[in-house]
Amino acid sequence: MEKNSFLNSLRVAFIVVSSMLLTLQHLDAQNNTISVDWSNTTVVSKTTLTLQVVVNPMLRRNSPIHAGSFNALQQLGVDNVRYVPWFPYPHMAVAELQPPTKNETFWDFTHIDPIVEDFMNATNGHTTIMNFSTIPAWMFKTDKPVEVPTDPDEVCWSYNSGTLLRDASMSELTDYYVRLFSWYTKGGFTDELGKFHKSGHYYKIPYWEVLNEPDLEHNITPESYTKMYDAIVTTLKKISPETKFIGLALAYTSNPSWFEYFLNPTNHQPNVPLEGISYHFYGTPDDGKQTIDNYQYSFFNQANAFLDKVRYIESIRKRLAPQTFTTIDEIGNILSRDGVNEPIPDGYWNLSGAMYAYIYLEMSKLGIDVTGESQLVGYPTQFPSVSMMNWKNGKSNARYWILKLLKDNFESGDKLVSTDSNTSSVVAQGFVTKEGKKLLLINKRNEEVQLQLPTDARDASISYVDITTGENPPAKEQLTGNTIKLNPFSVVVIKFKN
C-alpha cells in the first residue's frame, strides 16, 4: 500500500514537473518572438553565394578525397567559383619555375593541368573567377634564388619572397601572364625562344582576378599594385576582350588608402577598366586559450567590425567607381595556419557556417555582389579550420552544407522584408523568393533557443543544419505549430505555405 502510494506520488510529481517545463518552454518561446511584415520590402538582394577552391595536394587525382571533393563542388552548382593556385605549392601554381636561358625554357603544366581540368569539369555550366596569383619567384629581386622543393606535395611558405620585380618595365611579368592565359584559352602559346607549346585548352574565362593579397604576400604598395594591374589587364584584354577583371583581393581592410588609390580612375592608364574589386575576412580566436564558448563571441564581434569596414569601403567605391562590382571572395575562420595535432572543437564547423550565413545576410542588405566562403579543402599544414571537406573521409562538413542550404533557397532578386527578432542570440530575416515566403534563422550562440514564429508558420516546412546533422545534408521537418527550438549554432530555413 505504501509502495503504491509512493509510486503514485512520483507519477504526480513527474506530471507536475513536465507540465512546468512545457509551460516554461512556452513562456520562453513567447519571450523570444519573430515577426515578419511580408508586404514591406526593405531591399532586393543582388548577392550571389559561392566559394573558393584553393589548390593543394588534397585536390590531386591521387588524393583519397579527390573524388569526394570535386563531386561536392559539382553538386553545389554555384556561380562565380574562385579558383586559386596558391604559392605554398609552386609546382601546382607556377608554370615556369625557372627563368629561360638562351637555349632552353622551363614551361611545365604537369602538376597544374589535372586540377584545372577537374575544376572546369566540376563547374561546367557555371561562371568562374580564375586567379593564377603566384608570380614566378625568379621575377623578384631576392638575395638568393628561392629554393623549390622537388616534391610537388611539399609545402614551401618561402616562395612568396621579394617585393620588387627585377624587370621594372613589367614586360617579363605580362609576357608570363599572356602565355599562361593563352595556354588555357587559345590552345597554347609561343615561348621566349619561339617554340609553340600546344595545350588543346579553349576555356572561356569570364572573370580573372589579378594577384592575391598583394598587401600581405609581397607587401606591395597600392601604387605598385595598380601599375601591375594595369599592365596585366591591358595585355590580357587584347587576348580576351570579354573577360572582366577583378582587382585588389586584399587580405586586410584596415588601410583605406588601398581603396582610395585603386578605385580612383585617374591613377590608372587610359582605357583600363575598373570592373570589380575583392577583399577578404577571417574571424579568429582572440587568444590561444579560448574555447568554443568564447569563439562564438569573438567570431560574431569580429564579423560586425568587418561589416562596418565594408560600409566604409562601399562609400569609397560609390564615390570613386560606382560601376565597379564587389566580390568578398574569402570568408571564413582560422584557428591556425598549420593545425597539426590541433583538435577542432565539436560544433566549430556549425559556428563557422553560422557566421558565414550571417555575413551573407548582411552583405545582401548592403548590396554586395558576391560572397564567397573559404575554402573547399584545407587540411593539417594548410589551414584545416577553413576546410569545407573532412580531409580524413572526403565527406562535406557543416560549413559546406550551410552554403548548400543557403544556395538552394536564396538568390539574387529575392526581396528582403521587414523582420524583427527580440532576442539578440538569433538573427532572423524574411525573404520573398520565386518559390514563395521563406524565413532564415541563425542561432549565434552555443545554446538552445525557443522561438515563437509568426502565426502563418503553422504547417510550414523547415530545412536546417545544426550540431545534430553532422556531415549530412540539411535535415527536413514539418512544423505543427508556430514555435520552434533551435539547437546551438543552427541555421534554419522555413518555407511558408503559399
pLDDT tens per residue, range 362-386: 999 999 999 999 999 999 988 999 9
CA-based nearest residue to 94, from 85, 84, 82, 102: 85
Phi, psi of 207, rounded to the nearest 5 degrees = -135, 140
Question: What is the reported pLDDT for 340?
Answer: 78
Over residues 252-272, the mean pLDDT reads 97
C-beta of residue 416 within 8 angstroms of C-beta of residue 427: no
- Helix axis angle for 113-122 and 66-76, nearest 10°, is 40
Question: What is the reported pLDDT for 395?
Answer: 97
Rounded-to-integer distance, Cα 133 and Cα 218, Å: 11
Question: What is the reported pLDDT for 11?
Answer: 59
User: Count H helices, E strands: the chain?
Assistant: 11, 19
User: Residues of the chain with pLDDT > 70: what percent?
Assistant: 94
C-beta of residue 89 within 8 angstroms of C-beta of residue 112: no
Question: What is the reported pLDDT for 339?
Answer: 81
Q: Which three cell numbers stand for residue 5?
A: 502510494
Confidence of residue 20 (pLDDT cuts 50, 70, 90): very low
Phi, psi of 277, rounded to the nearest 5 degrees = -130, 160
**pLDDT, the chain, mean:** 93
Q: Is the confidence at residue 25, as pLDDT, over 50? A: no
Cα dihedral 147/153/158/164 (nearest 10): 80
Among the residue ranges 1-10, 247-256, 374-383, 407-416, the one predicted with the least confidence is 1-10
CA-based nearest residue to 465, from 434, 433, 489, 494: 489
Rounded-to-integer distance, Cα 334 and Cα 54, Å: 15
Question: What is the reported pLDDT for 406?
Answer: 98
CA-based nearest residue to 105, from 171, 194, 188: 194
Beta strands in 319-478 (DSSP E): 325-333, 370-374, 415-421, 426-433, 436-443, 449-452, 461-465, 475-478
Q: Which three cell numbers stand for residue 304?
A: 560586425
Question: What is the reported pLDDT for 402?
Answer: 98
- Helix axis angle for 222-239 and 171-185, nearest 10°, is 40
**pLDDT for 441-475, tens place per residue?**
999 999 999 999 999 999 999 999 999 999 999 99
Q: Which three cell numbers stand for residue 21?
A: 517545463
The residues with which 84 forms a beta bridge, in sequence order, are: 54
CA distances from 297 to 1, 107, 337, 423, 489 (A): 56, 49, 21, 15, 12
CA-based nearest residue to 445, from 302, 296, 303, 305: 296
Q: Is the confidence at residue 8, as pLDDT, over 70? A: no
User: Residues of the chain with pLDDT > 90: what percent?
Assistant: 89
Q: Which three cell numbers stand for residue 390?
A: 573532412
- Write the burial class of residue 214 (CB in 10 Å: 0-12 exposed, 13-18 middle, 19+ buried): buried
The residues with which 53 forms a beta bridge, in sequence order, are: 83
The residues with which 50 forms a beta bridge, in sequence order, are: 372
**What does the angle CA 213 – CA 219 – CA 225 come to, to the nearest 5 degrees?**
70
Question: What is the reported pLDDT for 290?
Answer: 86
Measured in residues, the chain has a length of 498
Question: What is the reported pLDDT for 16?
Answer: 44
Over residues 318-329, the mean pLDDT reads 98
Do the strands 276-283 and 196-198 form a parallel or antiparallel pair, or are they unpaired? unpaired
Question: What is the reported pLDDT for 28?
Answer: 53
The residues with which 129 forms a beta bridge, in sequence order, are: 82, 207
The number of C-alpha atoms within 13 Å of 107 and in the hemisphere containing its C-beta is 20
Judged by DSSP in three states, 193 sits in coil
Over residues 264-276, the mean pLDDT reads 96
Rounded-to-integer distance, Cα 418 and Cα 479, Å: 22
**pLDDT for 30-86, tens place per residue?**
689 999 999 999 999 999 999 999 999 999 999 999 999 999 999 999 999 999 999
Confidence of residue 29 (pLDDT cuts 50, 70, 90): low
The residues with which 276 forms a beta bridge, in sequence order, are: 246, 325
Do the strands 188-190 and 196-198 form a parallel or antiparallel pair, or are they unpaired? antiparallel
Q: Which three cell numbers stand for residue 321?
A: 567607381
Q: Is the confidence at residue 23, as pLDDT, over 50? A: no
Q: Which three cell numbers stand for residue 378?
A: 584545407
Rounded-to-integer distance, Cα 55 and Cα 93, Å: 8
Rounded-to-integer distance, Cα 162 and Cα 139, Å: 9
- The pTM assigned to this predicted structure is 0.92
Q: Is the confidence at residue 117, as pLDDT, over 80? A: yes
Chain centre to alpha carbon of residue 401: 13
Grid look-up 518561446 returns: 29
Rounded-to-integer distance, Cα 402 and Cα 355, Å: 10
**pLDDT for 172-227, tens place per residue?**
999 999 999 999 999 999 999 999 999 999 999 999 999 999 999 999 999 999 99
